[in-house]
Amino acid sequence: MTKKEINKDLAAAENSYHKLSIQVSLNGLSFCILDTIANKLSLSHSLPFKREVSPFDLHREIRQSFREEGVLDYSFSEVIAIHRNALFSLVPLPLFQEEKLPDYLKYNAKILATDHLDFDVITGLDAVNVYVPFANVNNFLYDLFGEFEFKHSGTVLLETLIKLPSSRQGTICYVHLAESQMDLVVFANKKLFFYNSFAISSAEDVLYFLLFSLEQLNLDPESLRLRLLGEVTEEDRVYEFCSEYFENVSLFLPADTTLPLSGQEEGIDFTLINAL
Quote the percentage of the chain above a pLDDT of 70: 89
Q: Taking the CA atoms of the chain, what radius of gyration do you get in angstroms? A: 20
Residue 63 or residue 17, greater confidence: 63
In whole angstroms, what is the distance from residue 128 CA to residue 155 CA?
Answer: 9
**Residue 252: per-residue pLDDT:** 85
Residue 45's SS3 state is: strand
Q: Give the max Cα distance, the chain.
A: 70
pLDDT of residue 250: 93
Closest CA to 154 of 185, 180, 124: 185
CA distances from 41 to 18, 31, 96, 238 (A): 9, 11, 37, 29
Mean pLDDT, residues 44-63: 94
Whether the predicted pLDDT of 63 surpasses 80: yes
Per DSSP (E only), the strands in the chain are: 18-25, 28-35, 40-48, 76-83, 88-92, 118-122, 127-131, 149-152, 171-178, 181-188, 191-199, 225-230, 248-251
Q: Higher confidence at residue 8 or residue 14?
A: 14
Q: How confident is the model at residue 267 (pLDDT cuts 50, 70, 90)?
A: low
Picking from 4, 6, 13, 53, the residue whose alpha carbon sits closest to that of residue 29 is 53
The per-residue pLDDT for 15 is 57
What is the pTM (predicted TM-score) of this model? 0.88
**What domains does the chain contain, in order, with CATH numbers?**
3-83 (3.30.420.250), 86-132 (no CATH), 165-256 (3.30.420.260)
pLDDT range class, residue 274, cuts 50, 70, 90 = confident
CB-based contacts of 216, cutoff 8 Å, min separation 6: none
Q: Is the pLDDT score of 258 beyond 50?
A: no
Q: What one-character DSSP code corresponds to residue 236?
A: S
pLDDT at 257: 45
For residues 243 and 237, give the distance between their C-alpha atoms in angstroms, rounded to a whole number.
Answer: 10
Q: Which of 64-73, 164-173, 191-200 has the lowest mean pLDDT?
A: 164-173
Tens-digit pLDDT profile for residues 74-111: 999 999 999 999 999 999 999 999 999 999 998 888 88
User: Is pLDDT at 167 greater than 80 in this prediction?
Assistant: no
Residue-wise pLDDT tens digits, 105-125: 988 888 887 889 999 999 989
pLDDT at 240 > cutoff 80 = yes
> Which pLDDT does position 10 carry in this prediction?
38
Q: How far apart are CA 246 and CA 42, in angstroms?
A: 39
pLDDT tens figures, 3-13: 333 343 434 44
Higher pLDDT, 33 or 179: 33
pLDDT value, residue 254: 54
**CA end-to-end span of the chain, whole Å?**
34
Q: Taking Cα atoms as reference points, which of 80, 136, 183 lies closest to residue 174?
A: 183
